[in-house]
């Protein structure tokens, strides 16, 4: 789709350039307009541009509002702490205060386990420098700041496992700061909170 639009724009530009080259040759000596300005045309032009700018601002604000709509159900809360150079995921609502972390060395990547079909509120912070939680396949990204909590809510509607990364350069081992996010059924999530392990093969590794 993008290529089709780009090709169309390219052809239009080529056609305009060709038209200008052919029609405006120096030898032709076009007759200059005697009017110094064209106020009606300029007003129209400014009006169209202003309307377009207003539309873009309003549309952006509206889409932002839609994106951050509060969930209808009470979300599951998960605290995310980033640090140099790995992650810690805590489930404060679980009786056992289940949490998981890792070293982000080799295969020791922590897994953020979330239930499917329920809004999950991630409360994101950092122990040291600025990091950024990013799940490319799910198009989720949010910065993690020290001494500040950033919140965002996501809902995953099917089970699976996706790779997450740090998207903010944070030092020597930034490149290795990966994790897994794994969506499991609400029942399995309940068992996970009780302390049971989750099989890594349950979803599609990405």
Half-sphere exposure of 206 (CA within 13 A, CB side): 16
Residue 135 or residue 198: which is nearer to Cu ion going by CB? 135
* Smallest separation (angstroms) from Cu ion to the CB of 69: 29
CB of 165 to Cu ion, least distance (A): 9
Query: Pattern of binders to Cu ion over 94-133, x per CB under 5 A?
Result: -------------------------------------x--
Site track 139-178 with Cu ion (rule: CB under 5 A), x = hit: ---------------------------x---x---x--x-
Nearer to Cu ion (CB atom), residue 124 or residue 170: 170
CB atoms within 10 A of CB 102: 18
CB of 6 to Cu ion, least distance (A): 35
d(CA 182, CA 111): 7
Measured distance CA(110)–CA(115) in Å, rounded: 16
What single-letter DSSP state applies at residue 176? G
**How does DSSP classify residue 28?**
G
Count of CB atoms situated within 10 Å of the CB of 144? 26
Please tell me whether residue 193 binds Cu ion under the rule CB under 5 A.
no
Report the nearest approach of Cu ion to the CB of residue 84 (Å).
7
Instruction: Report the alpha-carbon distance of residue 124 to residue 132 in Å, rounded.
Output: 9
**x/- site string to Cu ion, residues 55 to 94, per CB under 5 A?**
----------------------------------------
Phi, psi of 41 (to 5 degrees): -65, -40
Interaction site with Cu ion (CB under 5 A): 131, 166, 170, 174, 177
């Amino acid at each position: 789709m993008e290529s089709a639009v780009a090709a169309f724009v390219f052809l239009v530009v080529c056609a305009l350039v060709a038209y200008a080259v052919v029609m405006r040759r120096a030898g032709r000596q076009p007759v200059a307009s005697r009017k110094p300005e064209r106020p009606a045309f300029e007003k129209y032009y400014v009006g169209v541009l202003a309307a377009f700018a207003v539309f873009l601002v309003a549309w952006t604000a509206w889409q932002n509002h839609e994106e951050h709509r509060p969930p209808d159900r009470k979300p599951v809360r998960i605290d995310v702490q980033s640090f140099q150079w790995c992650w810690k995921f805590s489930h404060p609502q679980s009786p056992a205060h289940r949490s998981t972390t890792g070293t982000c060395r080799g295969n020791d990547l922590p897994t953020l386990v979330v239930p499917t079909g329920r809004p999950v509120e991630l409360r994101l912070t950092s122990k040291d420098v600025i990091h950024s939680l990013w799940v490319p396949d799910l198009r989720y990204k949010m910065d993690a700041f020290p001494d500040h909590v950033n919140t965002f809510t996501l809902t995953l509607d099917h089970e699976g496992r996706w790779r997450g990364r740090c998207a903010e350069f944070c030092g020597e081992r930034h490149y290795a700061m990966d994790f897994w996010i794994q969506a499991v059924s609400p029942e399995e999530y309940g068992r996970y909170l009780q302390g049971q392990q989750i099989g890594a093969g349950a979803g599609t590794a990405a």
